[in-house]
Structure 1
Amino acid sequence: MNQKNDLVKKALALGISSYQNSNFPQAKALFQRVLQLDDSNFYALHFLGIILLQEQNYKIAQLLLAKALGLKPKDAEVNHHLGLAFKGLGDANKASHCFSEAVKLEPSLAVAHLGYADVVSSMGRYEEATKAYKTALKYDKKLIKAHNNLGSVYRKRSELLKAIPCYQAAYDLDPSRLDIFSNILMCMASDPSVSSEEYLIKAQVYGEAARAKAEPYTEWPLLEKIDKPKIRVGLVSGDLRKHSVAYFLKSWIDKLDNSKVELLAYSNYSDEDEVTEELKPCFTKWSKIAHRSDSDIAQTIYDDRVNILIDLSGHTAHNRLPLFAWKAAPIQISWMGFFASTGVAEIDYFIGDQWNFPDSIKPFYVEAPWHLNISGCFFPPDTDVSVGDLPALKNGYITFGCLHKVTKLNDDVVALWSTILKENVSARLLIKDTAFCDAATTRSIKDRFALLGVDPERIDCEIGEARELYFDTYKRIDIGLDPFPFNGGTVNLESLWMGVPYISLQGSDRISRRGAAVLYKAGLDQFVAENEGEYIEIANKVCADIHALSEVRKGLREQVSESRLYNGSLMAKDLESAFSDMWLRYIEKV
């Protein structure tokens, strides 16, 4: 028995030492050996559970940590780690309970406050999350994740002026975290008070930071210089799943001529769903890159002999923009997922069209524009939902609608929409977003309208729902209101498909021209405003003549379905030509 105890003590001590020296494989083996000798050893259970959390093996980690907690139920650290396991398993309720227990046992345990904040934030309880993040920072001001995630909560609540300092504080603590830098740029690009010049300067700083961490390739395997080469095109994205980017891809990706273009996917998201499975057959190779280094992925792309590499994320979540500083392919493109310059000079082109990327905005991009006939084509929803009659015919009043993220409702937007509602006293505004799970967010939005003289009872804030369910909402909306400068993308196209036109203010840069660009292509020029006064005039005209709006609604789905907006075959042909022309232009220079 003494010999066995000695072995346990030695293995445990060596395991803890290995763990503290970050030799996790050795530590893991030693803790497993301890549990073979003593399956109720608290320390081995706890440490092995932590290592499995790092490996994202949440199921086994949860079993080990639950057993450890049974041995020491008053241990705050074990409660915290068990909370992380439940969080990884997607059980928010059990996770929040564990984190709550941890902070009761040890109120100064900052990471447990952080864990609780992350979980309730994922449940849409932003007011609770905000308090918990602030408490975490009270006990640990250097907790990077707390600063960053607090910024994200503010951004979700459309409080950009509060979000940016949080992100900046997180980035200042660790300037290597370019994902946090992306969050800053996302806020700046969405803020009407930030000029295009200011944004570009900041984006170029990002590009320089990415370049400093890269070792760019300077030579690449070339195709033979033939008239019609088969181009190998790589797509880098964290959104090859149930996401608006994937819905745009689905419109054309299976219509490409495989004799001209070969697609390779580099997916930066661990989980997959049915949309992922639909997309996979369209690629000759599918690589998961979420937990791989930029240098490793760049080598893979180079070895795959990719000729054109396309970023579909920009500075949005799950991006791998720093990878593009490695220049693993001779031609690199930014497209679809973002609306402003990436700041990464190694990206050659930004795909757009003459409507949303006019010559006037070229100075605000490090990428050169490449115009297609249309810069994006939408895949109609699988849900079979009829358009329905204009609601105002039955209601006797106009219902304006906004199914965009409330993050887009800046003060200028709220002020303009308030003017419209005050000039049309019977009209209502329906806003729908998952953010309204949080009562404080709902109160905040209504209060902002109330401060401008609009009865909050006229603002209907509804909780967002799954895509296959939310289309019925359009049957209760007469006309949409496009926010600015951050116009809608997917929502606007879904709105037109459901027979609901929208009013859009055409701005001076790409982010504020998307809404108008779609309306022009759909033949709905009458809903494009050049200034705020025109925006109000269009809204007033709609309220004054609901029968004219009813006529638009009746034929709108057929009208847009015949346009390039929903024609994936034409989109595929445009891309084939663009890829070929890009490649021929490139090989002429080498």
Structure 2
Amino acid sequence: MITNIDNWQQLAEQCLIKGNYAQAASLYEQAIEQEPSIISYYWHLGLLLLLKGEEAEAQMIWMLPLAEADTEHLPKLTNELFQLLQTEAERREKLAEYSLAWLIRQHMREINPSYINNLLQILIFSLKLEKFEEIDDLNKWGLIESLKAKEDVEIDIELLIQVLKEFLNNIPLNPINLNLIEASLPYFSDTHQCFSILLPAAMQIGHTLRQPMLAASILELHLRLEPDNVEILRHLATFYQDACNYSQGIETARLCYSLSEALADKIFALHLLLRGLMSAGGYWQAICTTCQELETVYKQFIQAQPISLEEGRILRLLTPSFAIPHIKDTPADFRAIHNKVAEIFYTDIQALGQSQDKNYHRPIVKYQALSTSTKKLKIGYVSYALRNHSVGWLARWLFQHHDRDKFDIHTYFVNYKLVNDHLQEWYLIQAGKARKLGMNGLEIADKIYQDEIDILVDLDSITLDITSEVMALKPAPIQVTWLGWDASGIPAIDYFIADPYVLPEDAQNYYTEKIWRLPKTYIAVDGFEVGVPTLRRDDLDIPMDAVVYLSAQRGYKRHPETTKWQMQIIKEVPNSYFLIKGLAEEETIKRFFYQIAEEEGVDCSRLRFLPQVHSESVHRANLGIADIVLDTFPYNGATTTLETLWMGIPLVTRVGEQFAARNSYTMMMNAGITEGIAWTDEEYIEWGVRLGRDEALRQQVALKLKASRQTAPLWNGKQFTREMEKAYEQMWQRYIEGK
């Protein structure tokens, strides 16, 4: 029997804290027997039974005083019980005992279903405990309706922020989830607070998880608060374009440009506009006008230096250059502008690094006693594209054939995300020491520096701003650009890998990097996986004896002048058809081709537009439907050219001056094929017509290509790797000799 009230209650409290719920419950049962009118005893006993796992019994105990209470006192009693449970739930939360906190709060919800802060806490715990069925009950709970009503709502804004962060980071979005975000927006008096939650989440969903329309849906909600937020519009334009919603992406980019005032902002807005126009394909007049405007603003930006920029604006400086070589083949003029912008980028990034105490300089004396004969060189590869991507398909032979006895390989995966991507999984095995990294350039550079990489190889060039930032910070003593695009022009990069063909002899005059020409080819593969074709001529209503031309490039590379040459070829070759494949806006690209076909006197019924296939091996197999592939200009195919040659299909290419206009040329030379290499516009048409009319010539080229698989440098990944490794050794030797 309880004789001292203070002592037994202290004892019960100690039992509760120690988890001895049965003993504590026994004490409260005795107390109720002695003083059945003290209501608080029932609340404590019910709580202890709940903690013991006896939920039904707990509810029965709580109901005893509630059933006997009159209407006037009932709210007071339920509030007392609610407060007791809340105190215990908060204690459990501090102890990180989330299961118990979640359980207690579920009973609080039964007592007061409309208390929003408790519902928000339940959501947080449901996410932590992965009780996603609870999240599906959002509508049933009435949380969204209560938030929308905004009547008598005393909401904990910090708690709401925590819910949204957890929500956006942990569960797949669906309309119900978006409704929760939408209903929460009016509670943000500070729009920047909302911006800081929604934008990072949208970037994660749109870029890393590759769900651009979901990301766009989030940003559309924020635009209700700030319709003219240029940063939101930038990302929104990108997500629309990534989701192939080109018209909306173009219009959003135009709005972004009209609202941009600073030169750096205008540059990137023009990039977004070009990105949308070129991805859609066919908007040629607008593309040329926008490109001209971009070059003008670039020149204004260069003349206006110095301009103080924060990191975000610095990072956006280089990528816009990507569009210009798709439009014209004037590398000396292009690089005169681009290299100056790259120098500004480098200077600003270096200053940013110094402001954060990032100094990656290593005294050369540390290495001077270590020649290539005594040192195992540490080679680092950095890229976001070592996955199901053109770079991923082409770089794998270098990784596979590396001599691990002589070279210590490190690979830095930028914006790594665990996805179902067998090529990424392959790279993780072949990568040597793999670093799975995010999108922070300073952190990536730190990792590279800490690993003491000797030669850092950039596979992205300017196609990813984060990689450009890493290279500009110069975390390795020797830095090289290979494969991903043309040279970036960043002064921190020492060498650009080329070969005897892919750049003209005078190219060094306008490159800041030292052009390192490998003896034969700058790229080689051992081959490609080829699946089962899904295309047949009869499916496309094409006669079996017809001559089939094919062009398989995305909208970016569709140039009206090249398309005119292609139509002139079709016109000159009887019983010929033209297959067009590549990612673009379907109706826009059809209008583009139909208009040029009509201008050149070609019946549009001879054109066929092919759907995309989701398997690279099937795409390659389907190339076999073509008799001749017609390359693009001034931006050639690269991966598609290699695939065409591997499949033994004759190719017609126009050779230009810039790197992008000579890719197919070097690949054909390194496959031992000169038939189809054109040095003028007229030669392009002549080769296309000749190959179309001369079946014997086509067969001869196909046989040469088939035989080249055993002999040509283009198909010898192992020999290419040895040449790359020799280049690395020579670069190192030059470095330690101070050259």
Shared fold, TM over 0.5:
yes
- Describe the shift of the 1:510–1:256 C-alpha distance in structure 2 as closer, same or farther (beyond 3 A): same
Cα deviation for residue 376 of structure 1 reads 0.6
Cα deviation for residue 522 of structure 1 reads 1.1
The one-letter code of the counterpart of 1:564 is P
Residue in 1 that maps onto 2:75: none
The yes-or-no answer on 1:245 pairing with 2:391 is yes
- Describe the shift of the 1:492–1:588 C-alpha distance in structure 2 as closer, same or farther (beyond 3 A): same
- Describe the shift of the 1:263–1:451 C-alpha distance in structure 2 as closer, same or farther (beyond 3 A): same
- Describe the shift of the 1:139–1:486 C-alpha distance in structure 2 as closer, same or farther (beyond 3 A): closer
- Describe the shift of the 1:527–1:140 C-alpha distance in structure 2 as closer, same or farther (beyond 3 A): closer
Residue in 1 that maps onto 2:317: 181
Contact 1:507 1:513 in 2 (8 A): yes
**From 152, 158, 161, the counterpart of 1:47:** 161
The yes-or-no answer on 1:122 pairing with 2:242 is yes
**From 523, 547, 550, the counterpart of 1:398:** 547
Moved more, 181-190 or 93-102: 93-102
Residue in 2 that maps onto 1:262: 408
The yes-or-no answer on 1:284 pairing with 2:284 is no
Aligned pairs (5 A) from 1:56-455: 56-57=169-170, 59=172, 66-67=179-180, 69=182, 84=202, 108=227, 118-134=238-254, 148-158=271-281, 159=284, 160-161=287-288, 163-164=290-291, 165=293, 176=311, 177-192=313-328, 194-214=330-350, 215=354, 217=361, 219=363, 221-222=366-367, 224-225=370-371, 227-272=373-418, 273-294=421-442, 296-317=443-464, 320-339=467-486, 341-372=487-518, 373-385=520-532, 395-436=544-585, 438-455=586-603
Residue in 2 that maps onto 1:502: 651
The one-letter code of the counterpart of 2:554 is K
Cα deviation for residue 403 of structure 1 reads 0.9
The one-letter code of the counterpart of 2:612 is G
1:138-191 per-residue CA deviation (whole Å, 9 max, x = no partner) reads: 788899887653332112134442554479889979785344323321112222
**From 718, 723, 729, the counterpart of 1:580:** 729
Residue in 2 that maps onto 1:27: none
Q: Give 3-state SS (helix, strand or coil) of 2:318's partner.
A: helix
- Describe the shift of the 1:389–1:33 C-alpha distance in structure 2 as closer, same or farther (beyond 3 A): closer
Contact 1:99 1:116 in 2 (8 A): yes
Residue in 2 that maps onto 1:571: 720
The one-letter code of the counterpart of 1:332 is Q
- Describe the shift of the 1:169–1:67 C-alpha distance in structure 2 as closer, same or farther (beyond 3 A): farther
Moved more, 346-355 or 404-413: 404-413
Q: Give 3-state SS (helix, strand or coil) of 2:497's partner.
A: strand
- Describe the shift of the 1:146–1:56 C-alpha distance in structure 2 as closer, same or farther (beyond 3 A): farther
Cα deviation for residue 306 of structure 1 reads 0.7
Contact 1:390 1:550 in 2 (8 A): no
Cα deviation for residue 257 of structure 1 reads 1.2
1:372-402 per-residue CA deviation (whole Å, 9 max, x = no partner) reads: 2321112522234589999999633322111
Contact 1:386 1:498 in 2 (8 A): no
CA distance in 1 between partners of 2:171 and 2:269 (Å) = 22
1:439-493 per-residue CA deviation (whole Å, 9 max, x = no partner) reads: 2333234334434443333222223222132123212211111111211111001
CA distance in 2 between partners of 1:136 and 1:66 (Å) = 26
The yes-or-no answer on 1:472 pairing with 2:636 is no
Give ranges in structure 1 of 5+ residues lacking alignment: 12-30
Moved more, 127-136 or 169-178: 169-178
- Describe the shift of the 1:399–1:317 C-alpha distance in structure 2 as closer, same or farther (beyond 3 A): farther
The yes-or-no answer on 1:562 pairing with 2:711 is yes
Moved more, 563-572 or 166-175: 166-175
The one-letter code of the counterpart of 1:217 is H
Contact 1:46 1:65 in 2 (8 A): no
Contact 1:488 1:515 in 2 (8 A): yes
What is the Cα-based RMSD across aligned positions, in Å? 4.4
Residue in 2 that maps onto 1:26: none
Contact 1:399 1:428 in 2 (8 A): yes
Cα deviation for residue 62 of structure 1 reads 8.9
1:344-376 per-residue CA deviation (whole Å, 9 max, x = no partner) reads: 122111111112134221112111121223211
- Describe the shift of the 1:501–1:45 C-alpha distance in structure 2 as closer, same or farther (beyond 3 A): farther
Contact 1:263 1:282 in 2 (8 A): no
The one-letter code of the counterpart of 1:301 is I
Q: Give 3-state SS (helix, strand or coil) of 2:610's partner.
A: strand
Give the alignment's TM-score, normalised by structure 1: 0.81
Contact 1:229 1:580 in 2 (8 A): no
CA distance in 2 between partners of 1:527 and 1:423 (Å) = 16
Moved more, 492-501 or 197-206: 197-206
Instruction: Count matched residues.
Output: 563
The one-letter code of the counterpart of 2:476 is A
CA distance in 2 between partners of 1:138 and 1:476 (Å) = 46
CA distance in 1 between partners of 2:508 and 2:526 (Å) = 29
The one-letter code of the counterpart of 1:524 is I
Whose relative contact order is higher, 1 or 2, with alpha carbons under 8 Å and at least 6 apart?
A: 1
CA distance in 2 between partners of 1:488 and 1:586 (Å) = 35
Moved more, 570-579 or 217-226: 217-226
CA distance in 2 between partners of 1:189 and 1:355 (Å) = 18
- Describe the shift of the 1:96–1:530 C-alpha distance in structure 2 as closer, same or farther (beyond 3 A): closer
What fraction of aligned residue pairs are identical, expressed as a percent? 21
Cα deviation for residue 239 of structure 1 reads 0.5
The one-letter code of the counterpart of 2:607 is I
CA distance in 1 between partners of 2:279 and 2:181 (Å) = 37
CA distance in 2 between partners of 1:37 and 1:565 (Å) = 60
Moved more, 426-435 or 220-229: 220-229
Residue in 1 that maps onto 2:605: 457
The one-letter code of the counterpart of 2:488 is T
1:51-92 per-residue CA deviation (whole Å, 9 max, x = no partner) reads: 458x854549998764465789999x9999699597576666
Moved more, 167-176 or 551-560: 167-176
Residue in 1 that maps onto 2:691: 542
Contact 2:279 2:583 in 1 (8 A): no
CA distance in 2 between partners of 1:161 and 1:422 (Å) = 27
The one-letter code of the counterpart of 1:150 is L
- Describe the shift of the 1:348–1:72 C-alpha distance in structure 2 as closer, same or farther (beyond 3 A): closer
Q: Give 3-state SS (helix, strand or coil) of 2:483's partner.
A: coil
Contact 1:268 1:318 in 2 (8 A): no
Contact 2:399 2:431 in 1 (8 A): no
- Describe the shift of the 1:380–1:390 C-alpha distance in structure 2 as closer, same or farther (beyond 3 A): farther
Contact 2:233 2:252 in 1 (8 A): yes
Contact 2:120 2:163 in 1 (8 A): no
Q: Give 3-state SS (helix, strand or coil) of 1:305's partner.
A: coil
- Describe the shift of the 1:539–1:494 C-alpha distance in structure 2 as closer, same or farther (beyond 3 A): same
- Describe the shift of the 1:454–1:230 C-alpha distance in structure 2 as closer, same or farther (beyond 3 A): same
